[in-house]
Amino acid sequence: MFVKRISTQPFADQKPGTSGLRKHVKVFQQPNYLENFVQSLFNSIEGYQGKILVVGGDGRYYNRQAIQIILRMAAANGFGKVLVGKGGILSTPAVSCIIRKIKAFGGIILSASHNPGGPDKDFGIKYNISNGGPAPEKVTNAIYIQTGKITSYKIIDTEDINLDKPAVLQLGSMKVEVINPVADYADMMESLFDFDLIRKFISGENFQMCIDSMNAVTGPYAIDIFENRLGAPIGTVKNGTPLEDFGGGHPDPNLVYARELVSILYGDKAPNFGAASDGDGDRNMILGRRFFVTPSDSLAILAANANLVPGYSSGLVGVARSMPTSQAVDRVAAKLGIDCYETPTGWKFFGNLLDAGKANLCGEESFGTGSMHVREKDGLWAVLFWLNILAVKMKSVEEIVQEHWYIYGRNYYSRHDYEEVDLEQANILIENLRSLVPIITGKQFGKYQVNYADDFSYTDPVDGIISNKQGIRINFTDGSRIVFRLSGTGTKGATLRIYIESYEPNIKRQNMDPQKALEDLITLSNEIALVRQFTGREKPTVIT
């Protein structure tokens, strides 16, 4: 095996964000750009010689080329074997599942998740550690330090590997196994949920469902699970072939970008159940007939009903949510008498809690839910969890949500995103809010009085690592709150996220449109943060 050492120079912009390194494809296509990051990753980890690495991606543009480069570099750097999904395909939760199952050293996922794909769109790379979860900050920081010092990378000179046929191949002194991307993951789903019951339920005369894979990675998984294994009619899965540009859309399962599914579920002959997932398969959106379940409610409802599902029948030990996620799940935890952890945004913060057995169900407001079964959020897992609950309760999605609000009260919730705003101005907006934090407590804004405000800081209860500056929280005395933070996944300018929440215990007032119910708080959030002044925008780009 001839290992070449290629000289290179650092790129200054290789700091991983909320979930890996995301940039425009053109940035990744610069000579040595991907290679630098991959070598910096290898330089920052130890003890991988002869070990197994799992590699796959969401099928977006540049996925295949990137995989060939990574395979050659893994061989040159001394990995023993790489498992790669057929066609270069592996969803994020499937990578997590496989790393854990075969006790791999780690995994590399090529994805920019819900960001659009194509030659002029986005690409991304993220690293998962041996527990199957996203690299925690101490690892991503170490990678970043290496990216600033790199002088050369190692690669072998060989032909491309055929990724389109399951096989065991040799690449230099390393083995490459091209695997079926779906089987291990689908088997795991069968072990967690009552497939016989779900099969019977979805074959019922009055039940119809529609799954939208948004031309992204979950297509093959959803077809195997819902159509083959659970017997749903062929065609249940829409947009089920992963495309390099996701058909031109944002593979982001929300009311704006999953328009096609939304129009089916709100149309004349609407099915009873609809769901969509994102680019890399870790997010989910759940819809009933003419009914949208907010991700924060979804998390709370899964927690409240977990005992109905085989994989969780022995009960939950604890739950965790990211800070901006609504406090609906906190109420369920209180009732169950279990702990509820509040972490910064990003799945990497759940890993320690799951590993330590402190929590076994987690979620984020950004359409992500998951559990201890893997170390990632998991889109199709959430869909199956819902179907299992529906099959046990024999109720509609809407009835289940209404029943939940009746018992626990409703947390009205909305997120307003201002995408691609000026980075400098966005930073000033946040700094301005930061300066308000120490002086705003006790202030009255109309009917709202500030109870406390802070810039969220998290101390990991397992390793004690502190993460500061994770978002400005303004909490009011009536329990409502506004949270402000900048996205760590965008690739252009800045994205300002404003999260607004209030609590409504009165069943008579639980059926309002959230935008209406939160109207005053929304106006207030704009006033406090001077949104118009700093962004120049009259309204948000995306409201969820």
Query: 3-state DSSP call for residue 257?
Result: coil
Q: Closer to Co ion by CB, 250 or 283: give it.
A: 283
**Phi/psi of residue 268, nearest 5 degrees:** -60, -55
Catalytic residue among 113, 130, 326, 366: 113
Residue 62 tokens, joined: 């540049």
Beta strands in 394-541 (DSSP E): 410-421, 444-445, 448-455, 458-459, 466-467, 472-476, 481-486, 494-504
Question: Can residue 489 be called a binding residue for ligand VG1 (CB under 6 A)?
Answer: yes
Residue 63 interacts with ligand VG1 (CB under 6 A): yes or no: no
Which tokens belong to 467? 């993460």
Footprint of ligand VG1 on 258-287 (CB under 6 A): 278, 282-283
Binding to Co ion by residue 278, rule CB under 5 A?
Answer: yes
With beta carbons less than 8 A apart as the criterion, state whether 304 and 297 touch: no
Interface pick for ligand VG1 out of 28, 79, 105, 347 (rule CB under 6 A): 347
Nearer to ligand VG1, 437 or 542 (CB): 542
In the list 154, 238, 331, 497, the residue contacting ligand VG1 (rule: CB under 6 A) is 497
Please tell me the distance from the alpha carbon of residue 367 to that of residue 379, in angstroms, as a whole number: 8
Q: Measured from the CB atom, is 36 or 322 closer to ligand VG1?
A: 322
- Residues in 100-139 that interact with ligand VG1 by CB under 6 A: 113-114
Using DSSP's 3-state secondary structure scheme, residue 131 falls into coil
Could you identify the residue written with the tokens 């995989």? 67
User: Considering the rule CB under 5 A, would residue 388 count as an interface residue with Co ion?
Assistant: no
Sheet holding 318-322, edge to edge: 339-343, 318-322, 361-364, 368-371
Q: Decide: 106 and 99 in contact? Cβ < 8 Å.
A: yes
Is residue 364 involved in binding ligand VG1 (CB under 6 A)? yes
Residue 323 CB, nearest distance to ligand VG1 (Å)? Answer: 10
State both tokens at 290: 């003419």
Q: Please tell me whether residue 378 binds ligand VG1 under the rule CB under 6 A.
A: no
Instruction: Report the partner that residue 239 touches, choosing among ligand VG1, Co ion, none (CB closer than 5 to 8 A by kind).
Output: none
Alpha-carbon distance 461 to 524, whole Å? 34
| Nearest approach, Cβ of residue 6 and ligand VG1 (Å) | 30
Does residue 366 bind ligand VG1 (CB under 6 A)? yes
**113 noted as active-site residue:** yes
Residues paired with residue 17 on neighbouring β-strands, in sequence order: 20
Does position 218 interact with ligand VG1 (CB under 6 A)? The reply is: no
Amino acid found at 507: I
Pick what 488 binds: Co ion, ligand VG1, none; C-beta below 5 to 8 Å, kind-dependent. Answer: ligand VG1
Q: Does 326 bind ligand VG1 (CB under 6 A)?
A: no
Residue 345 near ligand VG1 by CB under 6 A: yes
Return left, alpha or beta for 322; rule: phi > 0 is left, psi -120 to 50 is alpha, else beta.
beta
Applying CB under 6 A, the residues found at the interface with ligand VG1 are 18-19, 113-114, 278, 282-283, 322, 345-347, 364, 366, 368, 487-489, 497
Catalytic annotation, residues? 113
